[in-house]
C-alpha cells in the first residue's frame, strides 16, 4: 500500500482548495478584544506549508497549533508554535509567518490582534 500525503485546505472564511500531494489542512481564528464592532481582518494570502521530506518518510502526521500576532497593517508581526509534532513545527511556522490579513478596523482605527492557527498534516492511504 502506498501512503500519500495530501493537502486539503479548509479555512474558516469558507474557502476550500485541494493542493498537491504533501500538503495540509489549515484553519485559523482571529481573536480581538470585544470592545466595539470589528470590520475586516480576513485572510488575504495564505502560504501552504511544505510537508517535510523527513516527516513523510517517517510517516509523521498531526496537528500544529500556532498563535500569531497580526499587526495593524495585516502582516504577521510574530508567531509561536503552541503544540504539535516536532518534525512538522518549522514548516508550519515558516508558512504562517508569510501570511497576510486584511487590516482589522475597530471604531475607525486599525487594530492589532491575535490569530490562532491550526495546521493539520494529514497522510492518506491509497
User: What is the dihedral angle through the alpha carbons of 126, 56, 48, 20, rounded to the nearest 10 degrees?
Assistant: -30
Average pLDDT score over residue span 37-41: 73
Average pLDDT score over residue span 37-63: 87
Residue 51: count of CB within 10 angstroms of its CB: 24
Q: How many domains is the chain partitioned into structurally?
A: 1
Residue 119: count of CB within 10 angstroms of its CB: 28
Report the candidate in 75, 26, 53, 100 with the shortest Cα–Cα distance to residue 18: 26
Report the candidate in 73, 77, 55 with the shortest Cα–Cα distance to residue 64: 55
- For residue 39, name the pLDDT band (cuts at 50, 70, 90): confident
Interior angle at CA 103, CA 38 and CA 112, nearest 5: 75
Average pLDDT score over residue span 37-66: 88
Contact 8, 122 (CB under 8 A): yes
> Is residue 54's pLDDT more than 80?
yes
Position 37 scores a pLDDT of: 74
Report the candidate in 48, 89, 40, 39 with the shortest Cα–Cα distance to residue 67: 89
Per-residue pLDDT tens over the stretch 74-115: 999 999 999 999 999 999 999 999 999 988 888 889 989 888
pTM score over 0.85: no
- For residue 71, name the pLDDT band (cuts at 50, 70, 90): very high
> Is residue 29's pLDDT more than 90?
no
Position 122 scores a pLDDT of: 84
Contact 47, 31 (CB under 8 A): no
Residue scoring higher pLDDT (35 or 53): 53
Contact 110, 43 (CB under 8 A): no
CATH code, domain carrying 65:
3.30.2420.10
Average pLDDT score over residue span 22-30: 58
Amino acid at each position: 500500500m502506498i501512503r500519500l500525503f495530501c493537502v486539503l485546505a479548509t479555512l474558516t472564511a469558507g474557502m476550500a482548495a485541494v493542493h498537491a500531494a504533501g500538503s495540509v489542512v489549515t484553519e485559523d481564528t482571529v481573536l480581538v478584544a470585544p470592545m466595539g464592532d470589528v470590520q475586516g481582518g480576513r485572510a488575504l494570502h495564505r502560504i501552504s506549508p511544505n510537508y517535510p521530506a523527513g516527516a513523510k518518510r517517517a510517516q509523521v502526521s498531526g496537528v500544529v497549533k500556532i498563535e500569531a500576532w497580526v499587526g495593524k497593517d495585516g502582516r504577521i508581526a510574530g508567531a509561536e508554535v503552541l503544540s504539535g509534532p516536532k518534525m512538522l513545527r518549522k514548516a508550519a511556522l515558516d508558512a504562517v509567518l508569510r501570511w497576510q490579513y486584511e487590516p482589522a478596523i475597530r471604531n475607525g482605527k486599525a487594530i492589532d490582534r491575535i490569530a490562532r492557527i491550526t495546521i493539520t498534516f494529514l497522510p492518506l492511504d491509497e
